[in-house]
């Protein structure tokens, strides 16, 4: 493996706080950023925690401004919401909610030139820790991946909120996180760059490993506990892997084929309605197959993916026959992703289609769940 020359960068949030009462620390955390924090929320989250958050902030002498988010995260929407907050003298933007709201808060902080804090109410992916902003059009098609100048100043993950959300969100988070060690290793073995634009530091693979081992040990139990709305050790460990470790791993270690494959699934009938992490879990399986690993290694990963209720084959994804033309469309769109240099060999349409078909053949050897 080549270490090579050149500068390398490490990025992380300023603070990461996780636990069953983490939300109660919000006031203390945002207080140093001035008296007028902007809170970005949608209507359901406002109903869920709005009063609790506002009374906490006013109790420490702050005068928060609520920017209510509706619709999609589009440039027009972000500009409009940002304009409505100009002149308030805000020193920080706080996003409370799911991916769209957090990304909107990130985009607003970028435009207002102030730091931001994420308070995820679901753990469906690792975006709360990262500087990445996914921008969409009105039809929810991904049109751009923008970046903040720095990661969130703080990430506050209240696990009591996470276990109140439907379990499919945590399952998606597990899917998004389980690919990261394979992607960081592929980036290291290839010639590509991390999202920070440098070759990875060794720490990224170590974080990816820790993330994967945690998921292997605790995911099934954590999903069961989440279903019963219980904050347990397994939940705490898995949430750390999903939000913190996964985020640090991809931003510092790089993405690869697993995430590239999601470009195809986002437009594939049957699969497109699934959450991002469901796509990534299958993408990880296909990546491992494309790397040329042995059948037993691929099957081992597929068994784990299935055990967590994530898709391990075309059929699991809900893609209906005829499969082959759809596999070619998925492969073509995968080739438009920017992460393909992060792979140990050249990625071609044939390589992708053959890997997808190999996985589908192997799936017939898995026990029916």
Residue nearest to Zn ion (CB): 176
* Binding segment toward Zn ion, per CB under 5 A, in 9-17, 56-64, 173-181, 342-350: 173-181
Pick between residue 176 and residue 236 the one whose CB is nearest to Zn ion: 176
Q: How far is CA 328 from CA 106, 251, 261, 279, 352, in A?
A: 35, 29, 12, 16, 8
CB 216 within 8 A of CB 304: yes
What minimum distance in Å lies between the beta carbon of 280 and Zn ion?
Answer: 5
What minimum distance in Å lies between the beta carbon of 20 and Zn ion?
Answer: 26
Backbone phi, psi, residue 19, to 5°: 165, 175
Q: How far is CA 234 from CA 220, 221, 275, in A?
A: 9, 6, 22
Please pick, from the candidates 176, 183, 240, 251, the single residue that binds Zn ion as defined by CB under 5 A.
176
What minimum distance in Å lies between the beta carbon of 145 and Zn ion?
Answer: 11
How many positions of this chain bind Zn ion (CB under 5 A)?
Answer: 1
Q: Would you give the end-to-end CA distance of the chain in angstroms?
A: 39
What minimum distance in Å lies between the beta carbon of 54 and Zn ion?
Answer: 32
What minimum distance in Å lies between the beta carbon of 13 and Zn ion?
Answer: 17
Q: How far is CA 329 from CA 122, 229, 281, 287, 326, in A?
A: 31, 40, 19, 17, 5
Task: Kindly state whether residue 225 participates in binding Zn ion, applying the rule CB under 5 A.
Answer: no
Query: Across the chain, how many H-helices and E-strands are there?
Result: 17, 8
Pick between residue 37 and residue 152 the one whose CB is nearest to Zn ion: 152
* Binding segment toward Zn ion, per CB under 5 A, in 88-96, 171-179, 288-296, 328-336: 171-179
Site residues (CB under 5 A) for Zn ion, limited to 264-303: none
Instruction: State CA 324 to chain mean position distance.
Output: 29
**In the complex, which residues of this chain contact Zn ion (CB under 5 A)?**
176
């Amino acid at each position: 493996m080549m270490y090579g020359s050149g500068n390398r960068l490490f990025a992380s949030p300023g603070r990461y706080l996780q636990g069953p009462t983490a939300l109660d620390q919000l006031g203390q955390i945002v207080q140093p950023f001035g008296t007028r924090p902007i809170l970005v929320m949608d209507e359901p989250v406002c109903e869920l925690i709005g009063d609790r958050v506002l009374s906490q902030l006013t109790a420490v002498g702050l005068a928060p401004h609520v920017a209510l988010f509706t619709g999609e995260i589009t440039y027009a929407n972000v500009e409009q919401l940002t304009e409505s907050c100009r002149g308030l003298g805000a020193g920080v933007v706080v996003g409370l909610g799911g991916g769209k709201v957090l990304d909107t808060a990130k985009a607003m902080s970028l435009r207002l030139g102030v730091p931001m804090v994420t308070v995820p109410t679901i753990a469906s992916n690792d975006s709360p820790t990262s500087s990445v902003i996914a921008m969409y059009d009105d039809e929810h098609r991904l049109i751009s991946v923008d970046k903040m100048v720095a990661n969130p100043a703080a990430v506050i993950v209240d696990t009591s909120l996470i276990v109140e959300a439907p379990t499919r969100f945590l399952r998606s988070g597990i899917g998004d996180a389980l690919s990261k060690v394979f992607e960081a290793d592929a980036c290291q073995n290839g010639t590509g760059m991390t999202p920070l634009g440098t070759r990875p530091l060794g720490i990224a693979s170590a974080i990816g490993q820790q993330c994967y081992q945690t998921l292997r040990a605790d995911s099934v139990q954590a999903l069961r506990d989440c279903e019963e709305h219980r904050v347990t050790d397994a939940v705490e460990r898995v949430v750390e892997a999903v939000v913190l470790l996964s985020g640090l791993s991809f931003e510092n270690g790089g993405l690869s084929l697993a995430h590239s494959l999601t470009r195809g699934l986002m437009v594939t009938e049957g699969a497109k309605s699934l959450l991002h992490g469901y796509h990534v879990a299958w993408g990880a399986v296909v990546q491992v197959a494309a790397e040329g690993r042995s059948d037993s290694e691929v099957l081992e990963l597929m068994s784990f993916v299935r055990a967590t209720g994530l898709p391990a084959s075309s059929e699991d994804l809900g893609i209906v026959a005829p499969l082959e033309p759809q596999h070619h469309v998925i492969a073509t769109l995968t080739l438009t992703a920017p992460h393909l240099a992060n792979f140990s060999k050249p990625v071609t349409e044939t390589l992708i289609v053959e890997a997808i078909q190999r996985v589908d053949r192997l799936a017939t050897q898995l026990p029916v769940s």
